[in-house]
Each structure stands twice: as C-alpha cells, then as structure tokens.
Amino acid sequence: MLKNLTIEGKNMVKEVSAGAIVYTIENNKPLFLLVQHNHGNHFSFPKGHIEKGESIMETAKREVYEETGIMIEFTSDKMQVNTYLMPNGVYKDVYYFLAKASNHIIKFPKDEIRHAGWYNYDQVLQYLTYDNDKIIFLKLVKELKYENNR
C-alpha cells in the first residue's frame, strides 16, 4: 500500500508492507524461514504489500503463503516495525509478527524468490542481509517460549 506523506513541507510517498518471522520446531530447537529475493539477491523474511481492505496481520499471513507455501499461526499480536528509505526515495514501513508454521514443505515462486529454507538461530543472523532485520529478529524471537532459542 502506498500512502502520501508530508515531511518538512515535502510530499513523500510511503509504502507499507507486512510479513512474519516464521518458525518451526525440530529436535526441540526452532528453525526459521528465510527467503532470498531474485531482485537484489538479499536474504530476509517473507513480506509484501498490503492490499486495499486488508489488515496488517492478513497481509503477513497471505504474503508468507504466497512467497513460501507455508501456512502460519501467529503466536502473539506483538509486532516490530522496520522503517527505512528505499533507493527510489520512498519511505517504507514493514510490520513483522512472530508466527509458527502449520506446514513445512516450502514452495516458492521462482520468478520472485531465488531460494527459501529453514535456518537455525545462528544461521539466520549470518544470512540476513540487513542489520535492521537482525534487530527485529532478535526482538521477536524473545517471544518464543523455549529455554534455549538457539
């Protein structure tokens, strides 16, 4: 969703997206879902644009499914927002939630996603391209109810 925004008297465009940090439990340890995008080649969490009439949580659920084939259940309504300025001059807010996977077999659209997979805690911190994503990951993973998230 694009919104018009005025900052210091200048008209700006703001884009709003939503996604999720998705996890599953394997051998009593969490694994997390990452995607590598074709455009930009960066690793991040599944996310996408809000469609008209859609809530942020509905968008996150839809986008995770569209990008990975994974159905999710939110484990909390707590969210983290990543705000940044894109190279094209558009400000972007991305709302992230923590969610548990309902299925585990990943199916992704090859025209949009280069790779998608399950990664452990340390691998997520190694592969994520942007520091802002790492910060959001660390904040939301604290919500997991396991003694050792790693």
CATH of the domain at 49: 3.90.79.10
- Number of independent structural domains in the chain: 1
- Say which DSSP state 118 is in: E
* Contacts of residue 4, Cβ cutoff 8 Å, sequence gap at least 6: 11, 12, 13, 14
Residue 50 maps to a domain: yes
| ∠ CA 49-55-58, rounded to 5° | 75
Residue 57 maps to a domain: yes
> Strands 72-85 and 29-37: what pairing?
unpaired
pTM, whole model, 2 decimals? Answer: 0.87
Pick the residue with more confidence: 80 or 6? Answer: 80
Residue 102 maps to a domain: yes
- Rg over alpha carbons for the chain, rounded to the nearest Å, is 15
Instruction: Provide the pLDDT confidence category of residue 147 given band limits of 50, 70 and 90.
Output: very low
Residue 3 maps to a domain: no
Residue 68 maps to a domain: yes
Residue 64 maps to a domain: yes
pLDDT of residue 77: 87
**C-alpha dihedral, 141 to 67 to 65 to 62, nearest 10°:** 90
pLDDT in tens, 11-55: 667 899 999 999 999 999 999 999 999 988 899 999 999 999 999
Residue 1 maps to a domain: no
Domain range for 110: 19-78+95-141
